[in-house]
Chains A and B, each alone.
Chain A
Amino acid sequence: MSDGDLDVLQRALERERKARRAAEDLLEKKSQELYIANSELRAWSNRLEQLVAERTHEMEVARDQAISASQAKSQFLANMSHELRTPLNAIIGYSEILLEETSDAGHPQYHADLQRIVASGRHLLMLISDILDLSKIEAGQMAVFYEDIDISMMVHEVVETLRPVIEKNRNRIDVQAAPSLGSMRVDITKLRQSIFNLLSNAAKFTENGRITVTAQRAVGQPVDTISFAVQDSGIGIKPEHMRELFVPFKQADASTSRKYGGTGLGLALTARFCRMLGGDISVDSQIGVGSTFTLRLPAQPTDRDPESAHPSLAVAQDGEKDAAQVGTTKSSALDGRSRDREAVLVIDDDPMARDMLSRMLSSEGYEVITADDGEEALRLARDRRPLAITLDVLMPKLDGWAVLAQLQADRDLRDIPVVVVSILSERKKGAALGATAYLQKPVQREQLLGALLTQRTPSIHHVLVVEDDPDCQQLLRRMLEEHGHPSRCAKNGREALSLLAQQIPDLILLDLMMPELDGFSLLDALKADPRWRSIPVIVVTARDLSEDERRRLSQDTEQLLPKGALGRGELLMALRRLSSKRSTGGASNSDVNRRPGKA
């Protein structure tokens, strides 16, 4: 190797060495940059975590605020319910009293006005109830009470309740719900109200047409599906309105409300009830041809705990709220063993007369059983123990007098009030044979109802009214006295206790929300004293009860009457039920009547 070669190699080596050093410097510089970048990243990461923590905290605070706002809203609604229903109760109650007094005293000029006040009051009550229901559903506070029901029977009951409304528009009704459908486990109040809403809509929007109610069972896994279809040949729904059908307060259009009335809440509630029960609702409609609404529900609750269903105190409430919507009717669909105690037996051989009496009675909330001859009548009276009987005199085979005599001769039937309804003018003979009232045909609706309502219930003599609102107190007192039940009044639990110490009443009508000693505390005091323990208590409340409160009341009281729904009829029916229970040995306290309406 020459010197020149060596020189070249040496220079190349030197160059490579320098290059290596330069590379190392560069690496060192890059490392530092990386280190700094890393530190910055870590700082950013920490800052982000801190930000996330702050935001999370802010959201938690916001969530808690929202929850407590929602609770405040619910509480507000419950209070409003009380505040609104209490005066409304007085308005409806006094209007009814005035209505009766003016018709008795012959002031026809006020009659129609008073009827409008009553109808509007009930309409308002319905609105309040529906809005409360909707709010409760939205707030997730609507409880579901499952029980086993006979499907066919329930459908027929709803149809019978609405039959007068259906026939008012000259519609034919066809029911396809065979007893072979069997039973299902469902919240009957919500299901019944749903079918009621659909059917009353069908009746409202159909004239001279046909309405078909069909119940069907589709076998399936894990549970069968029960469908209820309400089909009408009515005006139909425009396609552009279909989407808003189930939206609260949206009726098809403004002109619909003016022509047909209603709140626009019925379908919204129905759809929500269906969803709560694990089912759905669908609609099929064609303008001018008709509409079909179909509910599909599981035959058993699927994803809910069925144990959450417990026998609860029934709320004798407002079938009539929907009735107010259609103007003339209120629901009398009742279930359970006590049903027959609500029934009135109509005995008449003339189908026209039977039909007319039935309509008058069912429009007032009574269930109606009919018999077209005396023998059938006696059989039905024994089997079903009706609340009251209307009796025609001139009938083939066994006539009315003979029926009356046999009723009076039967120890079990003797107490059933009998209103004789005849073309004959033999008031004295009727009274002599034990008739409670005597009406001559043609019978006016008010006469008939008056005769049924004014019967004194025999075994209740003295009533204690515990109520802080003076108007309500007066109203209850007046209703009771009008029908032969003297009463004393206490304006809170403490006063009630001192009155109880003086005299033991046959019945206590109890408000829950009172100053000093409230209704719940009074119930506790009653339970604690052996002298008072067996006094029947009917709770009359405007309060929107919680599930716990309702459960508690179902054990300690005879019946629960929501204040808004408290017409004279309801109160007297409750009294009569109580007295018939007493005279027949009665059912247990928890075996209370369940009526449609809010649970």
Chain B
Amino acid sequence: MRCGPIPIPAGYRETIVTPKSSRHVDAYWSFIAKKAGQSVVLPDGHCDIILEHNAVGAEPPTPIITGPATQPYTVQYAKGDCWLGIRLRPGYGVSVWRQKLISASDTVLRGKEALTLLPALNDLQERNLNLENLSKITEASTAVQIDHRLALALEALHVSGGRMRINTIATMAGCTARQINRMFRANVGLSTKIYAQLVQFHRALRLVHSEQLPPASAAFECGYSDQAHLTRAFRRFGGFSPSNIPQDLSQPELFSPNVRFIQD
């Protein structure tokens, strides 16, 4: 947890994969630090496969695999540090973590631990470090079919800003709430409730930050019981209060999975 301003991660780029229905990956992203600094990563409930290295150093790249995040965390970087990342679609975390996904939330595996989990990453150290090669390596590893009921539940949560009730979603998907919850834990690695809260938080943040809605109005529109409720969510998932959102907050469109291209 942290407070204070978040520097815009200059050098951050991402490409959202489309079409939605055909992909296992939400985005390919890269980040090159033009100078030393730190950046806060907001939790989005996704799993990432990352290669970290330094353009000026001779060190071999470090593979990193993240579990679904529910808390903000700070990344420190030195000049020339580079990351190449693949953000898996929610639901595909299981393809990398397998049975360990259950306990993977807010976990980051680095180096050997990441290689043990996904041995295919070993191949990359011999090749050119680019997203295309990283995606080829991970493509085979993440080729799982997710249950259409889970896909429908994820879509319903995103479309409703996290506000649709689990029982309504279950009716829609033609199964029980228990089955939905089980699929979330097994494939996303988070409870349905936490995932819904993350979607709700990101939308509220957008309304307050980008659309300049007063926090009280955003709280009502986003389904928080009152402004204090919204404030708690901001502190929990962002580490800041609604009245003190870092002005230079960079907000990748993590929760608009259908946007075609997001750039700089």
Chain A partners chain B: no
Residues of A within 8 A of B (CB): none
